[in-house]
Amino acid sequence: MRFFLSLAMASAMLVAACAKQPENIAAVEIGQNEYRGYSCKQLSDTKLAQAQNLENLSAAQKSAASGDAVGVFLLGLPVSSMSGNDKETAIAVAKGHIQSIEREQARKNCK
C-alpha cells in the first residue's frame, strides 16, 4: 500500500513539472504606462509583432509539452522542461504585452 502511495505521489510531481499547454498559461500584468506614448499605428504594429512572437513561442511550448508527455511516459522525466525548452514565462509576458496594448488601444479609441 505504501509503495502505491509513493508511486502515485511521484507520478503527480512529475506531471506537475511538465510544460503547460500555451492556452493554459496566464498573462502577466504589464504596467499601464508601458504603451501610453504610442500612437494607434505604433500600437497596431507592436501588437502584430507581439502576436507573431506569441505564435512562435506557443509552437515551441506545444512541442515542449508533447516532449514532456513522451519523456514522462518513457523515462519518468519531463525531458523538455528539464532541458530549458519550456517557454511558459516568455508566453506569459507576451500575452501580458498584448493585453496592455489592447487596453491602450481601447483607451485611445483606436480602430
Domain ranges within the chain, ordered by starting residue: 2-107
What is d(CA 76, CA 71) in angstroms, rounded to the nearest whole number?
A: 6
106 pLDDT above the threshold of 60: yes
Quote the DSSP letter at residue 18.
S
**Cβ atoms within 10 Å of 4's Cβ, excluding its own:** 8
What mean pLDDT comes out for the span 35-62?
95
The pLDDT of residue 88: 86
Confidence (pTM): 0.69
Nearest C-alpha neighbor of 27 from the set 85, 94, 108, 111: 94
Percentage, residues of the chain above pLDDT 70: 63
What does the alpha-carbon distance between residue 10 and residue 16 come to, in Å, rounded to a whole number? 10
Across the range 70-96, mean pLDDT stands at: 67
**Mean pLDDT (the chain, rounded):** 78
